[in-house]
Amino acid sequence: MSVITSRNAVKTALRDALKQYDGDVKHEEVKAKIDQLCQLNPTVAPTHSDRLESSQWMLISAPSFPEGEKLSTGQYAYSLGRLKPS
């Protein structure tokens, strides 16, 4: 199995684990898949990569912002702030 095939297989396994555990990145199985994918990352110092910095990103896990509400559609809703009485 090539590195690219392995990486794609781990990406698929990560997506499956995220679906199974409702997007919870703190679940042990999800964390294990993330660790496996990190080991297969071909980018040296990815947090300092200009190529990755200017890319478009999509959140595939459950957001971890406080006071979120999961809607019946499976999406999450959040308020941007609270109104304070004057």
pLDDT, tens only, 16-72: 999 999 889 999 999 999 999 999 988 888 777 777 777 777 778 877 777 778 888
The model's pTM:
0.68
**Choice among 7-11, 35-39, 73-77 with the minimum mean pLDDT:** 73-77
What pLDDT does residue 85 have? Answer: 54
Phi-psi region of 66 (alpha: psi -120 to 50; beta: other; left: phi over 0): beta
Cα angle at 39 between 3 and 29, to 5 degrees?
A: 105
Query: What token pair was written down for 34?
Result: 């993330």
What's the token pair of residue 55?
Answer: 């890319």
